Amino acid sequence: MPDPLQTLEPVTGVGLPALKNEMMLPAVLDPWAGHALYEAANLAKKVPGSKVYLVSLGQKAKLQQVMMTIAQKVSFELVAIDGPASGFTDAHEVAPALAAAIMAIPGIDKSRLLLFGGWESASRGAGATMQILGEILGITDQFEGVDEITVQDDGSFQVLERVEGGKHQVSTCAGTPAVLGWATGNLGEPRNDPQVGMANMRTVMPALQRAKPAKVAAEGVLYGRVELPKQQRNTRIVKDMPADQIAREIIEWISQK
């Protein structure tokens, strides 16, 4: 199944690469960031006095589209940062912009902060943004590829991190602050709830209007060349071919690449 991204081409934009027909791309929260949000909301429900802020950097029009969907799912307050949506922003520039926005939240107590994010979000798979963000904020307890958090009675919490071999590493953290870069977690996607959406949307629009532009236009970052991974699609229609032979041919085809 072709990803819509694969139907588009990278082009040279103003100052940094962009995607041709970028506005045609659907605006969604990536699955890691989505799970991070749902896990945060789930945790906040169990801990009285806690609150979820969603700090997001992207083109304002795209952020609005994202909000239309996720604002119906869980309660949060949006902190929006205006920036390009192309995916060509660099983690070393995104992280300081996020850190500045977090520290500007009125009344934020860094020592009680649980910083949730998608472990591969905003990094094109590099897994770097959350770690850099943690470093900037001085949060040294960092977990990546998280699938589960269990808060203990004493305020400590247990974290399951993905490690090689399909296993989890179990860690216990004494308490906040901590950075958790989420994998896919264990929660299902929450159902749409009009009342949640109604409450969120009252704060979403002012947040978008307040959004400040972030300096993430690749100052000091030079893109020598960008290209999409080559599609390797080769369709052949066969009838009555034994499955074993089909498998052999697929293996042979993959081996040639």
Partner 1 sequence: MADEEQQFEQERQSLEVDIACVGFGPAMGGFLTTLSQKLAADSDHPLESAVMTGMPLQVICYERADDPGFGVSGVVTRARGIRSTLPDLDPSQIPMATPVSQEKVLYLLDPVGASRRSLGLRTADAAIKAFRWMLPVDHDALELPYTPDFLRKHDGLVMSIGQFNQWVASQLMTSGLVQIWPAMPVQQALIENDAVVGVRMVDQGVDRQGKPDAGYMPGMDIKAALTVVGDGPVSPVGRQLDERFGMPPGHEKHDWAVGMKAVIELPEHVDLKPGTVFHSFGYPEPEIFGFFYVHPERVATVGIFVPSWFDSPVRTAYRYLQHFMMHPYFWRYLKGGTLKSWGAKSLQESGKRGEPFLAGNGYARIGEGSGSTNVLTGSGVDEAWTTGTQLAESVVELLRAGQKFTRENLERTYVQRRRRSWVEKEGRVAEHARDGFQRGVISGLIGMGLAGMTGGRVSLHLETKAPHERLRSPEQFFASRLSAQELANIRRHCTQTNTPLHDAVMEACGWPAIPFDGKLLITHQDALLMGGKVQAPAGYADHVSFRDAHVCELCGARTCIEICSGQAITPGENGVPAFDREKCVHCGACLWNCSQADANGVTNLEFRAGAGGLHSAQN
Tell me which residues touch partner 1 (CB under 8 A): 1-2, 4, 7-8, 21, 23-26, 60-61, 64-65, 67-69, 72, 188, 191-195, 197-198, 201-202, 205-206, 208-209, 233-237
Which residue is associated with the tokens 């649980």? 114
The answer to whether 101 and 81 are in contact (CB under 8 A) is: yes
Q: Are 132 and 125 in contact (CB under 8 A)?
A: no
Q: Which amino acid is at 60?
A: K
> Can you give the C-alpha Rg of the chain in angstroms?
21
Residue 226, helix vs strand vs coil: coil
Q: Which is nearer to partner 1, 148 or 193 (CB)?
A: 193
Least spacing, CB of residue 217 vs partner 1, in Å: 22
Cβ nearer to partner 1, comparing 11 with 247: 11
Rounded to a whole number of angstroms, the minimum distance from the CB of residue 214 to partner 1 is 19
Q: What angle do CA 207, 47, 180 make, to 5 degrees?
A: 70
The amino acid occupying position 227 is E
Choice between 7 and 245, CB closer to partner 1: 7
Residue 165 vs 194, nearer CB to partner 1: 194
Could you tell me the smallest distance in angstroms from the CB atom of residue 4 to partner 1? 3
Q: Which residues contact 236 (CB under 8 A, 6 or more apart)?
A: none
Q: How far is the CB of 60 from partner 1 (least distance, A)?
A: 8
d(CA 224, CA 207): 35
Q: Can you tell me whether residue 27 is helix, strand or coil?
A: coil
- The two tokens of residue 69 are 């969907």
Residue closer to partner 1 by CB (options 154, 240) is: 240
Q: Tell me whether residue 58 or residue 145 sits nearer to partner 1 (CB atom).
A: 58
We find the least distance from the C-beta atom of residue 5 to partner 1, in angstroms, to be 8
Give min distance, CB of 23 to partner 1, in A.
6
* Two structure tokens written together for 18: 């962009």
